[in-house]
């Protein structure tokens, strides 16, 4: 659906009559341009994605190379005297360049966040759409699975899985993917249920559409906006959980530069070099905030009540 | 009757409810010939819409359909597998729904939805579908048809959307169109235009049209045959002229008296009304369902009323002597 519907001539006249309190410029600009949160979060997110993609070219050093002579160099804004120009954000306790590790860490966070979101989104959307469309027994089964999933504490399950399979990027993605689908299922179920009752579904049946075609062509495009919002939320959730798991030593394993792992490694020297824990912490915070704000902004754009 | 395009015999629809089984449609028999308009009339909840949905095989899953025969152009719809039914729907039989506001998918353009039916039923490629859509939109009276194809449903008015729905039903030149109260959701000023359009197209394409409505005034204008339904049953059926001039069922008489006729009525004269409410159809329904509201009700109305037949394939279910309801006109 196009966001900017051309307003018909009589509508414009009416708007002009009622327009006294509204500045003219605000009325004309498309809705997305008025949403400050959406614009700023999109810009921040774009910057992080570009930084992650271009990490090999942007990073001044190899994030894995240790240099024990250059251990614990401070960033330039902490101690300009001791800071070294080639390590603008300092080095960690093994002498690895912190900026390079942060840049490569963005890759890990985005990778895990994205693929965990895709896996859980696939599972949850399929279950939710089927439950919402067919109802009855399918719905009962899906609701039971959702309740079962909700009764499992994520950290506990992750702990058990990692102790069996060992921690790695793939294991973290799969564990999070298989644990975060519940919200997708619940939201897609209710959204589909609403769409199911619309007459255009009946009309689609009346022109001879098969069930898979109706689900794909008629239902999915109409629940897409809720799906996008949930997806953004779950991606942020997955990134946070990855950081938490890595912090506990259950997620990504060293020497991979995960932000959660960097927080964990920095906590040993937290009292002497507090910047070491703050930088990856701030990075996680900014990324999660940006994704959440983006989801919020998209929701504001797509809900009918938000339409001007 | 052998040349009938659609033949329905003994159709019943039961809906199980908590209070018991609701007999929403009871033993309905209808037939539509090619090039003929059958109007199904009755008040809300008398089973008109369910009848048309039952013919299409689109009843809600809880509703149960039983029929002796549902035959479309010689093909038994009850025996047809789901795949064959899907191929028939939209291609050989199409439906126009009541509310054009909710029948079009808001996520796709008009053109997308029109062309889909055409390509889906293997009538040709997208190019041909596009041309057909433009031609049909022009035919149903939409100016700038090519431009409209790229618009979304919310950019069209209700009347335009219903015209699009009609065009959509006609994309594959179906044999039979079922129109379920196509004008109810529209402004009174547009209603007549849409109906006239339907009637014109029906004659032009020589298809069968089954028009479900509760507006007897509409019926008088465009119907060839009329079936009057009450409480899930066809109480009277026959050629439109015969039913209007010599109604044989008191319910039909009552409906006709409800139509305002400015040239025949004295100013200030009250329109006819039918007192009372439609009876509950839950549980067994015995005898004539209209007897609770009928001015002519007799004790024998409580027993099963057999259909009676007059000249001109005129059928009614009433025990009254045929001439009781005639008026000196």
Q: Are A308 and A10 in contact (CB under 8 A)?
A: no
What's the mean pLDDT when you consider all of chain A? 81
Interface contact B274, partner A, CB < 8 A:
no
Interface contact A203, partner B, CB < 8 A:
yes
More confident residue, A242 or A28: A242
Task: For each of the domains in chain A, give its residue range(s) and CATH number, in order of start.
Answer: 48-61+75-306 (1.10.3720.10)
Q: Tally C-beta pairs within 8 A across A and B.
A: 72
pTM (predicted TM-score): 0.72
Rg of chain B over Cα atoms, rounded to whole angstroms, equals 21
Task: Say whether pLDDT at A21 is over 60.
Answer: no
Q: Convert the pLDDT of each residue in B251-271 to its tens digit.
A: 888 888 887 777 777 777 777
Rounded-to-integer distance, Cα A29 and Cα B3, Å? 62
Q: Are A250 and A158 in contact (CB under 8 A)?
A: yes
More confident residue, A154 or B225: B225
To the nearest whole Å, the CA of A235 is away from the closest chain B CA by 25
To the nearest whole Å, the CA of B95 is away from the closest chain A CA by 6
Cβ count near B179 (within 10 Å): 28
Rounded-to-integer distance, Cα B48 and Cα B50, Å? 6
Rounded-to-integer distance, Cα B138 and Cα B121, Å? 22
Rounded-to-integer distance, Cα A204 and Cα A224, Å? 19
To the nearest whole Å, the CA of B121 is away from the closest chain A CA by 8
Interface contact A224, partner B, CB < 8 A:
yes
Contact B104 A200 (CB under 8 A): yes
Beta strands B233-239; B225-230: pairing state: antiparallel
Q: Output the pLDDT for position A8.
A: 43
Out of B87, B107, B155, the one facing A208 most closely (by C-beta) is: B87
Q: How confident is the model at residue A127 (pLDDT cuts 50, 70, 90)?
A: very high
Residues of chain B with CATH 3.40.50.300: 35-58+81-92+177-325
Architecture category of domain B35-58+81-92+177-325 in CATH: 3-Layer(aba) Sandwich (3.40)
Task: Say whether pLDDT at A165 is over 60.
Answer: yes
Q: How confident is the model at residue A109 (pLDDT cuts 50, 70, 90)?
A: confident
| Best B105, B133, B169 residue to mutate vs chain A (most A CBs within 10 Å) | B105
Interface contact A202, partner B, CB < 8 A:
yes
Question: Which portions of chain B are predicted below pLDDT 70?
Answer: 1-2, 327-329
Q: Report the residue of chain B nearest A214, measured CA to CA.
A: B105
**Which residue is it, tokens 């060839």?**
B224
Three-class SS state of B235 = strand
ipTM over cut 0.85: no
Query: Which runs of consecutive H residues, i.e. helices, occur in A135-269?
Result: 136-150, 154-165, 169-179, 182-196, 199-206, 211-213, 220-247, 259-266
In this predicted structure, which of A187-191, A241-245, A269-273 has the lowest mean pLDDT?
A: A269-273
More confident residue, B233 or A302: B233
| Best A206, A210, A217 residue to mutate vs chain B (most B CBs within 10 Å) | A206
Element (H, E) at B246: none
Task: Say whether pLDDT at A289 is over 60.
Answer: yes
Please list every residue in chain B whose beta carbon sits closer than 8 Å to the beta carbon of residue A205.
58, 89
Task: Say whether pLDDT at A53 is over 70.
Answer: yes
Interface contact A5, partner B, CB < 8 A:
yes
From B225, B248, B237, B239, select the one nearest B318 (Cα to Cα). B248
From B180, B161, B195, B139, select the one nearest B48 (Cα to Cα). B180
Per-window interface: B 93-132 vs A, CB < 8 A = 94-95, 97-99, 102-108, 116-117, 120-121
Please list every residue in chain A whose beta carbon sits closer than 8 Å to the beta carbon of residue B168.
203, 207
For CA atoms B317, B320, B321, B326, the dihedral sign is negative
Q: Output the pLDDT for position A140.
A: 92
Contact A222 B105 (CB under 8 A): yes
Bridge partners of residue B14, in order along the sequence: B23, B64
Interface contact B32, partner A, CB < 8 A:
no
**Which residue is it, tokens 């939201």?**
A187
More confident residue, A162 or A133: A133
Which whole number is the average pLDDT over A247-258? 81
């Amino acid at each position: 659906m196009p966001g900017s519907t051309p307003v018909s001539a009589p509508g414009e006249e009416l708007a002009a009559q009622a327009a006294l309190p509204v500045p003219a410029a605000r009325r004309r600009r498309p809705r997305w341009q008025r949403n400050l949160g959406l614009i700023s979060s999109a810009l921040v997110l774009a910057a992080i994605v570009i930084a992650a993609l271009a990490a090999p070219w942007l990073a001044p050093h190899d994030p894995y190379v240790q240099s024990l002579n250059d251990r614990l160099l401070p960033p330039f804004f902490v101690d300009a005297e001791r800071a070294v120009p080639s390590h603008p954000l300092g080095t960690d306790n093994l002498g690895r360049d912190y900026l390079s590790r942060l840049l490569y860490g963005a890759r890990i966070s985005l990778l895990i966040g994205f693929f965990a979101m895709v896996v859980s989104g696939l599972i949850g959307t399929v279950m939710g759409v089927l439950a919402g469309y067919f109802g009855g027994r399918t719905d009962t089964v899906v609701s039971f699975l959702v309740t079962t999933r909700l009764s499992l504490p994520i950290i506990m399950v992750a702990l058990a899985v990692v102790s069996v399979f060992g921690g790695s990027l793939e294991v973290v993605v799969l564990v999070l993917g298989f644990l975060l689908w519940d919200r997708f299922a619940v939201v897609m179920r209710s959204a589909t249920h609403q769409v199911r009752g619309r007459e255009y579904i009946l009309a689609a049946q009346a022109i001879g559409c098969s069930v898979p075609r109706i689900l794909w062509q008629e239902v999915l495009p109409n629940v897409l906006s809720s799906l996008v919002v949930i997806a953004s939320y779950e991606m942020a959730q997955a990134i946070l959980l990855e950081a938490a798991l890595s912090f506990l030593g259950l997620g990504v394993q060293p020497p991979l530069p995960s932000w959660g792992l960097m927080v964990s490694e920095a906590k040993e020297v937290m009292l002497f070099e507090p910047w070491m824990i703050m930088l990856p912490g701030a990075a996680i915070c900014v990324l999660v905030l940006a994704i959440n704000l983006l989801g919020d902004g998209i929701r504001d754009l797509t809900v009918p009540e938000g339409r001007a | 009757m052998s040349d009938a395009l659609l033949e329905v015999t003994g159709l019943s629809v039961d809906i199980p409810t908590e209070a018991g089984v609701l007999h929403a449609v009871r033993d309905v028999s209808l037939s539509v010939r090619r090039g003929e308009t059958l109007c199904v009339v009755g008040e809300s909840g008398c089973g008109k819409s369910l009848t048309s949905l039952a013919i299409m095989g689109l009843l809600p899953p809880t509703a149960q359909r039983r029929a002796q025969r549902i035959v479309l152009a010689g093909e038994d719809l009850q025996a047809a597998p789901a795949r064959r039914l899907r191929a028939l729907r939209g291609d050989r039989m199409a439906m126009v729904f009541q509310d054009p506001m909710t029948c079009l998918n808001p996520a796709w353009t008009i053109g997308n939805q029109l062309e889909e039916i055409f390509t889906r039923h293997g009538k040709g490629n997208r190019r041909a579908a596009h041309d057909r859509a433009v031609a049909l939109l022009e035919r149903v009276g939409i100016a700038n048809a090519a431009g409209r194809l790229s618009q979304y449903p919310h950019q069209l008015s209700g009347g335009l959307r219903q015209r699009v729905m009609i065009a959509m039903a006609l994309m594959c030149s179906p044999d039979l169109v079922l129109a379920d109260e196509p004008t109810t959701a529209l402004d009174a000023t547009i209603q007549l235009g849409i109906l006239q359009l339907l009637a014109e197209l029906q004659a032009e394409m020589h298809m069968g049209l089954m028009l479900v409505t509760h507006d007897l005034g509409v019926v008088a204008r465009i119907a060839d045959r009329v079936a009057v339904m009450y409480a899930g049953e066809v109480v009277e059926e026959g050629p439109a002229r015969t039913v209007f001039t010599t109604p044989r069922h008191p319910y039909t008489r009552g409906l006709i008296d409800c139509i305002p006729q400015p040239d025949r009525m004295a100013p200030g004269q009250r329109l006819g009304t039918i007192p009372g409410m439609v009876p509950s159809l839950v549980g067994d329904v015995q005898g004539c369902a209209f007897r609770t509201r009928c001015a002519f009700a007799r004790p024998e109305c409580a027993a099963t009323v057999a259909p009676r037949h007059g000249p001109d394939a005129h059928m009614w279910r009433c025990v009254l002597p045929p001439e009781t309801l005639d008026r000196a006109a």
